[in-house]
Structure 1
């Protein structure tokens, strides 16, 4: 349900998300080898259709950079953008089915350390990817999150190339924009409510347009060329605008290639959405929990609509979602406003959008990236111990050097390995009776849950026991003991006999009998 109660916060946040989203939509479409307008369509659908159905209050949906490589290869492989659109529609139907079947709960199984690592990793990537744009080197497309660039370079080689292509006008605009954003955030918003109502990002965008007009008229050597500005397709008429929409071709929808692509898009888009949903909820200052199954339904309907009118696949995306949160968004009205603004502006004022310098947007995204990867976050995770810090750092490094989903997969592997290691170590507790007697007595108390993973650790402990001792194995408090471990204990009875170990096993029945004896006493 859309509410207007928070419009004073949601309207300026929606404007900021709109400004960030437009070049990202265009850049991802370019990287996907699709018509530029298909990215805009996905942004409109993500902002309007998905927002109306979704239960996420702060999540923003649109075309995702993580799908760009899949989309590029799919369009080339199928040989037709229209056939590709049929796969997008089918992928949406699969997502809708997954939501109705309650498959969204998979998102709850990702540990906090990995989710926070994802947020910080995205923050680091944003900073690394936007530095070239801030200096006026715009060879890479907006929204890229992959380490390997389309031209064969890498994130770091592009940083070094930046020094060979510095554009003075872009540097001036980005430096002034960055200074205004910091001043706005740290000082002005605390001085007067007007500075909370008017967002700093909107000011720097208007400043960037104005500065470039001044450069063009009075300092042509500083004027930005077209490739340093937003490049939105401009229709000559309403009929021309309608022609930018494309209908899908369903003639090959039941072929293996299309079905396999639809399944791939559905799985990858759903996974990315669920991860971003979890991450967005962690950034939410009100700590609201979004319904994951409803989000899959919303994304499914969104992809069906997007595919039907010529748009790229949509997912919930963390860059736009975090920009929404950091701009003061309170409800999903801000995401809806951003979608409506994209639609209105591409119809009414596409020429003005094409005046926005990428350097202005780079400054906005640099601030977003810093807030996602604040040093305080690293300190907080370090204080939580290595069980949290190691998966967190590995996730960040893996995302920076690969891509979002691969990095999360590597981070998950490290987190699971750490869990397995801890599970291996805490299977039991062995202690020696301090009372002096003729024979030493040992007690082994098994944990509540004993799986086959604990088998090796328990076996090592039993092997290290000296000869001629008493041993009591207590699993009266164990709710579950794997049959492998039970077999191990049974086999140890023979070993105990040969080592002159008096073995006693206390099971649940023993505990109940002791309780009864105490009652009788």
Structure 2
């Protein structure tokens, strides 16, 4: 596990700095105690990271569950009651893993998964622009189009643009943001090629240290950073206060129907988000390793049960942290585990230091992560691949940016299915027209390997358009599956063909049949499934 520590340690530091504000922001967006987000980040890193079969995936609280959590806390009568649903949701995920439900993740088209990655990259960039200029006080984990303060992504951007034009941006946050992004670009493109030191020490760590130094250097100047533009970690005054930050489930409400409904909702949404992120993360992996999805569900279920028991939010594998891990050179699951250990140590020992980190520096780090996910070259490659790839891709991107992750994925998948049905409609058969023979047009129709009810329209249209006095040669030698609906169409056509003076010749593996009296009986006698 720790064989690639030279790569995993620097990556874990980057993931730590990305995860920290997201854990806090998602907790705030969920209406939960801030510490609950850190608990789920720690459990997701250490526990899920150790149990998971994913080498580069990182788990923690997910923005996609924030709305569910916010509603459930109010509906169930308090946070301790909600924690019961988290524990039960984890147990249901364990059941999903035992039942091998992880196979669902393999049924999402590649174009949709690429659209998911690109859409999330665009969201990351758009959401960080207000933070970059020190304008947005909303939670860092607010990744949905509609936000908790009634704003949306576009209105926040318009407010930012107006502030820039009118000169009402926070200059302190903006200056350190530009310094940070310059450090990141120069470090990645120039210095990292100059020696091992610059490869071991990552640019994001340097940017964060510079941000903290900037805070103290400008404390009494016009370019200072106010508290609202810094990370905000709970700071306990004693060990007893630290213990008091943990919450525990109220199992006396376990038989409430609402608890079980919430538990199933958490299990379903968390499992689906995890499987989608697993598929996307595997595509980012330079070594192209494949994550065992059923093991991932077992790991996530265990993590959610533990998180719920000690007061944490629901956990999923998260693409933002996972992609940051990949782009920072993470090689094994050690980077995810170490980032969880860093979270644990930092909230216990140095919460005051963390509260000096400027949010605009973290926004600069996430800018780079977002750009690497949503490179223009990705759009170009999918466009060149043809409309069957590009349309589901672009629908997924737009859906995620303007709604949320699951709706965007659902829209992309729906379009992908329509494309498959359209191509299935087109590819049900091959038609070849030959010259007249014995006064009749000879037409050869070869059916595809699999012909289902989706192909009814195309085949029926072709048969109905055959002219009178035709000699139809129907070749089913390559057909391995022929739907009963298609057989019925052929049987009905055989009856009408007599009136139009159409002769039918069937060529199959069993031999040749001229004008069989019943297509239904003929195909029942075939030795294969067709």
TM-score normalised to the size of structure 1? 0.96
Per-residue CA shift, 1:434-476, capped at 9, x if unaligned?
A: 4765322001111110111101110000111111111111112
Name which of 182, 196, 199 aligns with 2:199: 196
Equivalent-residue separation in structure 2 for 1:437 and 1:153 (angstroms): 76
1:382-438 deviation line (CA, Å, top 9, x unaligned): 111111111001100000000001100000000000001100111001111247653
Ranges in structure 1 where 5+ consecutive residues have no aligned partner:
513-521
What do you get for the CA RMSD once the two structures are aligned?
A: 1.1
1:307 offset after TM fit, Å?
0.2
Tell me how far apart the structure 2 counterparts of residues 112 and 296 of structure 1 sit (CA, whole Å): 21
Aligned to 1:355: 356
Q: Name 1:184's counterpart in structure 2.
A: 187
Give the structure 2 partner of residue 491 of structure 1: 492
Contact 2:395 2:412 in 1 (8 A): yes
- Following the alignment from structure 1 to structure 2, what is the Cα–Cα distance between the partners of residues 437 and 385? 44
Aligned position for 2:100: 102
Q: CA deviation at 1:507?
A: 2.7
Change (3 A) 1:511 1:272: farther
Counterpart residue number, 1:344: 345
Q: Which residue of 2 aligns with 1:12?
A: 10
- The aligned residue for residue 277 of structure 2 is 276
Residue 153 (structure 1) aligned with residue 156 (structure 2): no
Work out the number of aligned pairs and report it. 508
SS in structure 2 of the partner of residue 251 of structure 1: helix
Q: Distance in 2 between matches of 1:295 and 1:485?
A: 41
1:515 aligned partner: none
Is the partner of 2:473 in helix, strand or coil?
A: strand
Structure 2 matches for 1:433-512, cutoff 5 A? 433-434=434-435, 438-510=439-511
The 5-angstrom pairing of residues 56-67 of structure 1 reads 56-67=54-65
Distance in 2 (alpha carbons) for counterparts of 1:32 and 1:305:
19
Alignment match, 2:114 = 116
Describe how 1:110-509 pairs up with structure 2 within 5 A.
110-162=108-160, 163-164=162-163, 165-217=168-220, 219=221, 221-434=222-435, 438-509=439-510
Instruction: Provide the secondary structure at the position in 1 that maps to 2:190.
Output: helix
On the 8 A contact 1:276/1:317 being kept in 2, the answer is yes
1:476–1:510 contact (8 Å) kept in structure 2: no
Match in the other structure for 1:518 = none
SS of residue matched to 2:389 = helix
CA distance in 2, matches of 1:502, 1:298: 63
State the TM-score, normalizing by the size of structure 2: 0.94
* Distance across 2 between alignment mates of 1:318 and 1:168: 31
SS in 1 for 2:290: coil
Quote the offset at 1:139 in angstroms.
Answer: 2.3
Please report how far the alpha carbon of residue 501 of structure 1 lies from its aligned counterpart in structure 2 after TM superposition.
Answer: 0.9
Query: Gaps (5+ residues) in structure 2?
Result: 514-530
- Is contact 1:125-1:145 (8 Å) kept? yes
Q: Distance in 2 between matches of 1:511 and 1:145?
A: 63
**Cα offset, 1:64, TM superposition:** 0.2
SS across alignment from 1:137: coil
| C-alpha distance in structure 1 between counterparts of 2:350 and 2:8, whole Å | 22
Q: Give the drift of 1:213.
A: 1.1
Q: Please, which moves more after superposition, 354-363 or 246-255?
A: 246-255
